[in-house]
A and B are shown apart, each in its own frame.
Chain A
């Protein structure tokens, strides 16, 4: 990398890190955390192709960063379609798979773990995940259901051969091979994109991304309704399931951050927002496991970034407990004055420009909204302007331009 590019990259990275850590910066930043299909749409690529053809998607993302002159390169929020199609995923629907080409991918939430299966799951999560959950979630892994528990094959591994010696299992192993190969391809494409963006002087927003322990259980195991009922009918089991994911998540996050050489780890929080549960329940079911993961990562020198989806205003006092300047918060909907009062001198404010405004508003409305954000948060430092969940797919390009312009105008002001 030429020295002058290195200087530009280091300058941008330092400014980004300073903002994330609530240190003073020479100016306000503007940068989306991630992208679903906005870039693809702008490049005239269908959602289907964006999920299938990684090079095209990353090229579109690069073009968007350069066109709008963001301070950072956005990360892809889209998983490759191959991951779903090879496994015959039942728990997702995706464009070009089982949705029309122009739709976004979506998760099929249901009770993959039934209420009366908690004990079985908690007694042996490995076995349950492999032989019950995965066959329910995917067609391709259905043969796992027919396999005996591994320990029952005996301690001698040579008998794995006979255990897998059926046409169904051989087909499944072939699918797993294809899945791994598809992952190598997509990870290579992501690595190339990050390297290219760095060569252009742009640090990427984050490396690893996770779903907090409570949301893992509520999304993937019990579903919203099941989880809500469990808070009353099986609170201890629900908590035990949530806690089960804490340590593995800490280990996985550290390993992933090391593998991609990026300390910034993005967390997508969704079912702890206002309206979902009382403060008492948040304190009991949601917060402790998340707090444990976040503190362990901070302790490990990493930067967990919490994207708080929905209205998180009532939860601000919890976020304020976290070590100052170590856990940037990416906001969706929030009372800005409350956020300033409670979090202004605690953590970086990232996001905050509503998806609805970016998608349906007028440029002058966007500009006014960004100016308000700047007026409130800029004096304390640690402000990164972005859409409330990154740039929405339907955002009007002129509104994204207005968002960036408003930030740039404030620099000159």
Chain B
């Protein structure tokens, strides 16, 4: 077993148990031993999170474990990786892409959206989460402001579907439709609706949403 493999095994254990101290300490030690922050991210954090994501998909683990793992990694990133990257000025991007997520106007349901956000994060995406009940104009404005790579929208209530279409229409009207691939999901949606409203694709589950985002950015 290579050094990275054994580290990864332990790292998975630590993040699933929510052991921030152990996970942060491993990252610090690895960097002190000569690994660059990007190396630690690519060889330990990213594969560990992918493993966590896969286990969640197969119901080997559940929401508490995935939330705790993501939370613990957030701590490692903020306390060790990000400061080290800033210091070394490596400037290398560790993100697969930036995804804007929002539950559309009129709808406050966010369990599904949050699960997608978590799954995207554990798979290496950067997520800009606008929360719930977000008007179409705000979604478009923030996409521009944040220069995201994908716009993701969720709705549980069928009465809120028109707001998703409004976003596609706004993008079209502003002449920036091609700049932002749009993915929709949530209990009120299905692939045919996505096609009808002019979205690029539909995610039927958190895992499928991640795959579709990778596909949209040509990362599959």
Q: Are B106 and A100 in contact (CB under 8 A)?
A: yes
Interface residues of B in 84-115 (CB under 8 A from A): 106-111, 114
Tally chain B residues at the interface, Cβ within 8 Å: 23
**Is A318 part of the binding interface, using a Cβ–Cβ cutoff of 8 Å?**
no
Q: Are B107 and A106 in contact (CB under 8 A)?
A: yes
The residues of A that contact B64 with a CB separation of less than 8 Å are 228-229, 231-232, 277-278, 281
| Bound-complex Cα distance A278 to B66 (A) | 12
Q: Give which listed residue, A104, A107, A225, contacts B67 with CB less than 8 A.
A: A225
Closest partner residue, chain A, to B106 (CB atom): A103
| Bound-complex Cα distance A52 to B148 (A) | 42
Q: Are A275 and B158 in contact (CB under 8 A)?
A: no
**Is B157 part of the binding interface, using a Cβ–Cβ cutoff of 8 Å?**
yes
The residues of A that contact B141 with a CB separation of less than 8 Å are none
**Is B207 part of the binding interface, using a Cβ–Cβ cutoff of 8 Å?**
no
| Bound-complex Cα distance A225 to B109 (A) | 14
**Closest-CB distance, A103 to chain B (whole angstroms):** 5
Indicate whether A275 sits within 8 Å of B63 (C-beta atoms), given known contacts A106-B107, A106-B109, A232-B18: yes
Interface size class of A (residues with CB under 8 A): 20 to 34
Closest partner residue, chain B, to A107 (CB atom): B108
| Bound-complex Cα distance A229 to B159 (A) | 33
21 contacts between A and B (CB under 8 A): A102-B159, A103-B106, A103-B159, A104-B157, A104-B159, A106-B108, A107-B108, A109-B110, A225-B67, A228-B67, A229-B18, A232-B18, A275-B59, A275-B62, A275-B63, A277-B63, A278-B62, A278-B64, A278-B65, A281-B62, A394-B159
Residue interface bits A91-105, CB-to-B below 8 A is 1, else 0: 001000001101110
The residues of A that contact B217 with a CB separation of less than 8 Å are none
Indicate whether A276 sits within 8 Å of B62 (C-beta atoms), given known contacts A103-B106, A104-B157, A233-B18: yes
Q: Are B158 and A394 in contact (CB under 8 A)?
A: yes
**Is B126 part of the binding interface, using a Cβ–Cβ cutoff of 8 Å?**
no
| Bound-complex Cα distance A100 to B158 (A) | 14
Q: Are B68 and A233 in contact (CB under 8 A)?
A: yes
Q: Are B158 and A229 in contact (CB under 8 A)?
A: no
**Is A108 part of the binding interface, using a Cβ–Cβ cutoff of 8 Å?**
yes
The residues of B that contact A278 with a CB separation of less than 8 Å are 61-62, 64-65
| Bound-complex Cα distance A224 to B108 (A) | 14
The residues of B that contact A99 with a CB separation of less than 8 Å are 106
Q: Are A228 and B108 in contact (CB under 8 A)?
A: no
Closest partner residue, chain B, to A394 (CB atom): B158
Q: Are B68 and A228 in contact (CB under 8 A)?
A: yes
**Closest-CB distance, B209 to chain A (whole angstroms):** 15
Q: Are A103 and B111 in contact (CB under 8 A)?
A: no
Q: Are A224 and B111 in contact (CB under 8 A)?
A: yes
**Is A10 part of the binding interface, using a Cβ–Cβ cutoff of 8 Å?**
no
In this complex, which of A224, A225, A281 has the most chain B Cβ atoms within 10 angstroms of its Cβ?
Answer: A225
**Closest-CB distance, B55 to chain A (whole angstroms):** 11
Indicate whether A229 sits within 8 Å of B157 (C-beta atoms), given known contacts A108-B108, A278-B62: no
**Is A359 part of the binding interface, using a Cβ–Cβ cutoff of 8 Å?**
yes
The residues of A that contact B110 with a CB separation of less than 8 Å are 109
**Closest-CB distance, A48 to chain B (whole angstroms):** 13
| Bound-complex Cα distance A108 to B133 (A) | 10
Indicate whether A232 sits within 8 Å of B63 (C-beta atoms), given known contacts A107-B108, A224-B111: no
**Closest-CB distance, B40 to chain A (whole angstroms):** 23
**Closest-CB distance, B12 to chain A (whole angstroms):** 14
**Is B17 part of the binding interface, using a Cβ–Cβ cutoff of 8 Å?**
yes
In this complex, which of B18, B64, B160 has the most chain A Cβ atoms within 10 angstroms of its Cβ?
Answer: B64
**Closest-CB distance, A357 to chain B (whole angstroms):** 13
Further pairs besides A99-B106, A278-B65: 17, Cβ < 8 Å: A93-B108, A93-B133, A102-B159, A103-B106, A103-B159, A106-B108, A106-B109, A108-B108, A224-B111, A228-B67, A228-B68, A232-B18, A233-B68, A275-B59, A275-B62, A278-B61, A281-B62
Q: Give which listed residue, A102, A224, A229, contacts B68 with CB less than 8 A.
A: A229
**Closest-CB distance, B41 to chain A (whole angstroms):** 23
**Closest-CB distance, A77 to chain B (whole angstroms):** 15
The residues of B that contact A103 with a CB separation of less than 8 Å are 106, 157, 159-160
Closest partner residue, chain B, to A270 (CB atom): B111
**Is B71 part of the binding interface, using a Cβ–Cβ cutoff of 8 Å?**
yes
Q: Are A359 and B158 in contact (CB under 8 A)?
A: yes
Interface residues of A in 210-251 (CB under 8 A from B): 224-225, 228-229, 231-233
The residues of A that contact B61 with a CB separation of less than 8 Å are 278
**Closest-CB distance, A280 to chain B (whole angstroms):** 10
Residue interface bits A144-164, CB-to-B below 8 A is 1, else 0: 000000000000000000000
The residues of B that contact A394 with a CB separation of less than 8 Å are 158-159
The residues of B that contact A229 with a CB separation of less than 8 Å are 18, 64, 67-68, 71
Closest partner residue, chain A, to B118 (CB atom): A225
| Bound-complex Cα distance A103 to B64 (A) | 31
Closest partner residue, chain B, to A227 (CB atom): B64
The residues of B that contact A275 with a CB separation of less than 8 Å are 59, 62-63
**Closest-CB distance, B116 to chain A (whole angstroms):** 14
| Bound-complex Cα distance A276 to B64 (A) | 8
Interface residues of B in 36-94 (CB under 8 A from A): 59, 61-65, 67-68, 71
**Closest-CB distance, B193 to chain A (whole angstroms):** 11
List 10 tightest A-B contacts by C-beta distance, closest first.
A232-B18, A106-B108, A228-B64, A228-B67, A231-B64, A232-B68, A278-B62, A103-B106, A277-B62, A228-B63
